[in-house]
């Protein structure tokens, strides 16, 4: 398992280096000068020059790349051009909203999808299966902002049991903060849970038709025992892959939901930074998100190793 982990770790580091080069090159290679781009077309020559100096754009490219990387490694992400505060500070603040929201939504997704998927697979073709499949179809087809608005209408306006938006901050207490994140998390989770339910169901159905399930039944296991003891773990690999992808998506892709609920999250931050041409902010946040995605994938691959002994030993 140690060797397996080390090999995964090696590809993780390689991926990070490549990603940082690509992001850096994108910002460098966009046509025109970043400073004049950030200031807009009406900017004066000396203001542009001052900004170039401030951003260190007059240094050679390799030096800039390394100072960017070493800066990030020591927690210095540069200073935001629009906010005039360190990027790291803003990002950390936003991360405290986006990360719990993503985890919350992912937990809900798993809590819905696992039982629903297993239930549907074990009663294939029944009314239960058909209803679960119908519900997931709806969950995938309906956009999550519509769920969000519906949830606000029912739970915040009619019944008044959840706030309709905003985030009080963690200083107000854990439960108050979680309370505020509940509706957004549900709205984010419903489509993801629908996808994951279908993956869980089809993966489990594939596994249930395997020869070793028949072997288990011939040993005297009931249908349920065969499913729990033999099918479930084998069905988990594709499910884990999807969970990894979903987490990355939930972390960065919640822009619309963050807007519906007025949440100060990462998605809104990137969106604003792009529209305000705050390249330093964009560069750093994108790198951070890439980092998160790669780390999540790394963790998912480690769990493959836990599930599948062959992966663990063979490589």
Partner 1 sequence: MSLLEINNLSLGIHGVPILKGVSFAIAEGEIHGLIGESGSGKSMTAFAAMQLLPNGAACSGEITLNGRNVLTASETELCQIRGNDVGMVFQEPMTALNPVQTIGQQVAETILIHEPGTSARAARTRAEEALRRAELPPERFPLSRYPFELSGGQKQRVVIAMAIALRPKLLIADEPTTALDVTTQAQILTLLKRLAREDGMGMLLITHDLAVVSDMADHITIMRRGEVMEAAPTKQLFAELKHPYTQALFEASTHQPDREAQDETTPLLKVVNVIRDYPLPRKTLFAPQEQFRALKGVSFDLYRGESLGLVGESGCGKSTLTRAILGLDPITSGKIELDGASVQTGEHAVRRKMQVVFQDPYGSFNPRHKVARLVAEPFHLAETSPSGAARDTAVAEALISVGLAPEDAQKYIHEFSGGQRQRIAIARALILKPDLILLDEAVSALDVSIRAQILDLLAELSDQFNLSYLFISHDLSVVRSITDRVLVMQAGEIVEQGNTETVFTAPQHPYTRSLIAAAPRLPKGPAHAA
Q: Give residues in contact with partner 1 (CB under 8 A).
A: 3, 6-7, 10, 125, 210-212, 214-222, 225, 229-230, 233-234, 307-310, 313-315
Nearest approach in angstroms of CB 245 to partner 1 is 23
Nearest approach in angstroms of CB 51 to partner 1 is 46
Question: Which position has the token pair 């809900």?
Answer: 108
As given in the structure block, the two tokens for residue 16 are: 């990070």
Nearest approach in angstroms of CB 241 to partner 1 is 16
Q: Which is nearer to partner 1, 164 or 202 (CB)?
A: 202
CA torsion, points 260, 185, 200, 307, in degrees to nearest 10?
130
Q: Which is nearer to partner 1, 93 or 129 (CB)?
A: 129
Q: Which is nearer to partner 1, 207 or 248 (CB)?
A: 207
Nearest approach in angstroms of CB 113 to partner 1 is 21
Nearest approach in angstroms of CB 13 to partner 1 is 13
Long-range CB pairs of 212-219, under 8 A, 24+ apart, other chains included = none
Interaxial angle between packed helices 87-122 and 279-307, expressed in degrees from 0 to 180 and rounded to the nearest 10: 40
Q: Which is nearer to partner 1, 43 or 237 (CB)?
A: 237
Q: Which is nearer to partner 1, 240 or 256 (CB)?
A: 240
Q: Which is nearer to partner 1, 99 or 311 (CB)?
A: 311
305 burial level (CB within 10 Å; 0-12, 13-18, 19+):
middle
- Where would I find the H helices in the chain? 2-29, 34-39, 45-55, 61-73, 87-122, 127-141, 144-151, 174-208, 211-218, 223-226, 232-252, 255-260, 266-275, 279-307, 309-314
Residues 6+ apart with CB under 8 A from 120: 128, 129, 132, 133, 197, 201
Instruction: Report the alpha-carbon distance of residue 187 to residue 164 in Å, rounded.
Output: 12
Nearest approach in angstroms of CB 214 to partner 1 is 7
Interaxial angle between packed helices 87-122 and 232-252, expressed in degrees from 0 to 180 and rounded to the nearest 10: 150
Instruction: Report the alpha-carbon distance of residue 10 to residue 277 in Å, rounded.
Output: 35
Nearest approach in angstroms of CB 173 to partner 1 is 43
Nearest approach in angstroms of CB 128 to partner 1 is 16
Q: Which is nearer to partner 1, 113 or 232 (CB)?
A: 232
Q: Which is nearer to partner 1, 25 or 313 (CB)?
A: 313
Q: CA dist 294 to 273, 299, 306, Å?
A: 23, 9, 19
Interaxial angle between packed helices 232-252 and 174-208, expressed in degrees from 0 to 180 and rounded to the nearest 10: 140
Nearest approach in angstroms of CB 227 to partner 1 is 12
Q: Which is nearer to partner 1, 2 or 29 (CB)?
A: 2
């Amino acid at each position: 398992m140690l060797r397996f982990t080390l090999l995964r770790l090696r590809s993780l580091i390689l991926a990070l280096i490549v990603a940082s080069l690509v992001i850096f090159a994108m910002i460098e290679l966009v046509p025109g000068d970043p400073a004049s781009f950030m200031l807009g077309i009406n900017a004066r020559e000396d203001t542009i020059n001052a900004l170039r100096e401030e951003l260190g754009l007059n240094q050679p490219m390799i030096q800039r790349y390394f100072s960017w990387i070493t800066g990030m490694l020591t927690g210095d992400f540069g200073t935001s051009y629009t906010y005039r505060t360190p990027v790291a500070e803003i990002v950390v603040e936003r991360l405290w909203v986006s990360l719990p929201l993503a985890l919350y939504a992912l937990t809900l997704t798993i809590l819905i999808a696992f039982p629903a998927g297993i239930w549907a697979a074990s009663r294939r073709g029944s009314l239960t299966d058909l209803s679960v499949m119908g519900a997931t179809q709806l969950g995938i087809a309906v956009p999550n902002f519509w769920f969000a608005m519906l949830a606000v209408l029912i739970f915040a306006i009619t019944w008044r049991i959840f706030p309709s938006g905003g985030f009080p901050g963690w200083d107000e207490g854990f439960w108050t903060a979680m309370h505020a994140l509940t509706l957004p998390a549900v709205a984010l989770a419903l489509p993801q849970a629908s996808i994951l339910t279908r993956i869980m169901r089809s993966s489990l159905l594939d596994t249930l038709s395997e020869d070793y399930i028949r072997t288990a039944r011939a040993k005297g296991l009931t249908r349920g025992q065969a499913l729990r003891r033999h099918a479930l773990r084998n069905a988990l690999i594709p499910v884990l892959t999807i969970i990894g992808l979903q987490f990355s998506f939930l972390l960065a892709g919640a822009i619309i939901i963050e807007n519906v609920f007025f949440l100060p999250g990462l998605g809104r931050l990137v969106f604003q930074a792009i529209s305000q041409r705050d390249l330093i902010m964009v560069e750093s946040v994108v790198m951070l998100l890439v980092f998160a995605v790669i780390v999540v994938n790394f963790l998912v691959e480690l769990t493959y190793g836990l599930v599948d002994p062959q992966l663990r030993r063979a490589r």
